[in-house]
Amino acid sequence: MKNFVLDTNVILHDSKSIYNFQENNIYLPIVVLEELDKFKKGNEQINFNARDFIRSLDGITNNTLFTEGTPLGEGLGRLYIKISDQYRSDIASILPERTPDHRILSITKSVMEEDPEKETILVTKDINLRMKARALGIETEDYYSDKVPSIDIFESEAREIEIYDEQIISKLYKSPLGLSPEELKINTELRANECFTLRAGDSTILCRYNPIQNTVTQVIKDDNSGIKPRNAEQAYAFELLNDPDVKLIAITGRAGTGKTLLALASALKQTFLYKQIYLMRPIVALSDKDLGFLPGNEKEKIMPYMQPLFDNLNVIKYQGGTGISQAIDDMLSTGRLRIEALAYIRGRSLPECICIIDEAQNLTPHEIKTIITRAGEGTKMIFTGDIHQIDSPYLDSQSNGLSYMIDKMKGDAIFAHINLLKGERSELAEIASQKL
């Protein structure tokens, strides 16, 4: 059994985090409750998490919570709130400023001394606080509950599967409905909606496995609203984006690989299937200033954050010609194509629409869940992002919501993931992405 001291950011990240430490004891410094009080108001996920945790805490509070602790449930440890907040002299000699972080370090040291038989660990998502803790001899960890075990999938390209009969590939070219893996004599297990290259000698064909029909079909480099795929991965993306049976899609890749552009082009091609197209982005505040600091009304405030979406629409207008350009303008004016911030999606229901969520690597796992559970009947959701370009200070490539969703949803028949590797924005952009 161990003692875990939780930082405020762990609770803001996951309001149910205290139930994820098995039989170990949880200590909450009183300063954490003080900080949570500052986050109670607001419409963002961290505000919801603060309110949810405070309500949960109120439900389990009793007279022993501050002395003997209170049990968290069967198979779980006890929860303690440390109200003694005397700033230790050994901490003050090194960190004289009595900030909330330093107070948490002081309380962690006290827990270590009060219960020396158990290992005491400070859990925080703040890298700088973890460094300070280690300097003071305090064992510390990140919050691992919703971290994916590996991100290798984001570095690898689509598989090439080899068979030994070129005539089978010729047969697949002539079979628009596809062939079963058994007919193709594929001996390896195929993942749901996996896209791959099938090779027999010098013959190759781009393929996609459909788990619902148990067939392998040819992937064709189709033109979507004036945008034509420039490589195999983009062709795979269009294949899955245009399939109405695939309700949830994740497209990952470096800057310039065409993630957002492909999603937009595919959505515009499918306007006859859906009532609306929503383009959404999370708002990541810059220099500690949120939208309230920007001039103008709500639409004017979010415009700088939404400009990349308009840039992609302009590319489609240019490539598609006058007809597509006019259609996009008409959809924007009538509200069939809407560009919005994600901040106020909680509580909404989105039926019969396509939702494209750009920069999804800046979302937490709980925010991803909140968004997906807004989907009504007949809705498709597309998440795009680069897990190596995260702006949130408490997320990384393994703990962000996009990685978490892909890890949890892989293998489901209604989910697909495509990783784009080759940059197509320009030769300059591709070289800069690789070398800088």
CATH number for the domain including 32?
Answer: 3.40.50.1010
Which pLDDT tens digit goes with each residue over 108-162?
Answer: 999 999 999 999 999 999 999 999 999 999 999 999 888 888 888 888 889 999 9
The answer to whether 76 and 20 have CB atoms below 8 angstroms apart is: no
Average pLDDT over residues 43-51: 87
pLDDT above 60: residue 293: no
Q: What is the pLDDT of residue 300?
A: 62
Which pLDDT tens digit goes with each residue over 370-424?
Answer: 899 999 999 999 999 999 888 888 889 999 999 999 999 999 999 999 999 887 7
Q: What is the pLDDT of residue 298?
A: 57
pLDDT above 50: residue 289: no
User: Is the full-model pTM beyond 0.85?
Assistant: no
pLDDT above 60: residue 336: yes
The answer to whether 7 and 133 have CB atoms below 8 angstroms apart is: no
**Which residues touch 116 (CB under 8 Å, ≥6 apart)?**
none
Same-domain pairing of 109 and 238:
no
Same-domain pairing of 135 and 242:
no
Q: What is the pLDDT of residue 317?
A: 82
Same-domain pairing of 130 and 244:
no
391 vs 287: CA distance, rounded Å:
11
44 vs 350: CA distance, rounded Å:
19
Confidence tier at 369 by pLDDT (50, 70, 90): very high
The pLDDT mean for the chain works out to: 88
Same-domain pairing of 130 and 277:
no
The answer to whether 106 and 30 have CB atoms below 8 angstroms apart is: no
Confidence tier at 286 by pLDDT (50, 70, 90): very low
Among the residue ranges 98-107, 267-276, 321-330, the one predicted with the least confidence is 321-330
Torsion of CA 31, 33, 37, 39, to 10 degrees: 90
Same-domain pairing of 245 and 389:
yes
**Which residues touch 354 (CB under 8 Å, ≥6 apart)?**
267, 270, 274, 276, 277, 278, 379, 380, 381, 382
Bridge partners (DSSP) of residue 80 are: 27
The answer to whether 123 and 7 have CB atoms below 8 angstroms apart is: yes
- Which 8-state DSSP code applies to residue 286? B
Query: What is the 3-class SS of 325-364, one letter each residue?
Result: HHHHHHHHHHCCEEEEEHHHCCCCCECCEEEEECCHHHCC
Average pLDDT over residues 69-77: 92
pLDDT above 60: residue 261: yes
Same-domain pairing of 135 and 273:
no
Q: What is the pLDDT of residue 20?
A: 94
Length of the chain: 436
Give backbone dihedrals phi and psi of 261, rounded to 5 degrees, phi first: -60, -45
Average pLDDT over residues 256-285: 87
State how beta strands 2-6 and 119-123 pair: parallel
CATH number for the domain including 411?
Answer: 3.40.50.300
Of 107, 141, 175, which one is at a domain's C-terminal end? 141
Of 113, 141, 169, which one is at a domain's C-terminal end? 141
Average pLDDT over residues 242-257: 93
Among the residue ranges 104-108, 208-212, 240-244, 295-299, the one predicted with the least confidence is 295-299
Q: What is the pLDDT of residue 287?
A: 41
pLDDT above 70: residue 297: no
Average pLDDT over residues 261-280: 91
Q: What is the DSSP string of 237-265?
A: HHHHHT-TT--EEEEEESTTS-HHHHHHH
The parent domain of residue 50 ranges over: 2-141
Q: Which amino acid is at 225?
A: S
| Residue 334 burial by Cβ neighbours in a 10 Å radius (0-12, 13-18, 19+) | exposed
Phi-psi region of 288 (alpha: psi -120 to 50; beta: other; left: phi over 0): left
Which pLDDT tens digit goes with each residue over 4-33?
Answer: 999 999 999 999 999 999 999 999 999 999
pLDDT above 80: residue 225: no
Q: Is 186 part of any domain? A: no
Confidence tier at 277 by pLDDT (50, 70, 90): very high
Q: What is the pLDDT of residue 393?
A: 81
The residue written with tokens 């590996």 in the block is 150
- Which 8-state DSSP code applies to residue 7? P
Q: Is 421 part of any domain? A: yes
Same-domain pairing of 12 and 128:
yes
Q: Is 166 part of any domain? A: no
Confidence tier at 284 by pLDDT (50, 70, 90): low
b (16+ CB within 10 A) / e for 128-155: ebbebbeebebebebbebbbbeebeebe
The answer to whether 417 and 252 have CB atoms below 8 angstroms apart is: yes
Q: What is the pLDDT of residue 301?
A: 60
Which pLDDT tens digit goes with each residue over 186-204?
Answer: 999 999 999 999 999 989 9
Q: Is 90 part of any domain? A: yes
Q: What is the pLDDT of residue 288?
A: 43
Give backbone dihedrals phi and psi of 101, rounded to 5 degrees, phi first: -60, -45
The total of structural domains in the chain comes to: 2
Same-domain pairing of 290 and 431:
yes
Q: What is the pLDDT of residue 285?
A: 52
The residue written with tokens 């393994």 in the block is 398
Q: What is the pLDDT of residue 200?
A: 92
Same-domain pairing of 251 and 386:
yes
Same-domain pairing of 428 and 299:
yes
- Select the highest-mean-pLDDT range: 269-283, 296-310, 375-389: 375-389
Among the residue ranges 205-219, 241-255, 284-298, the one predicted with the least confidence is 284-298
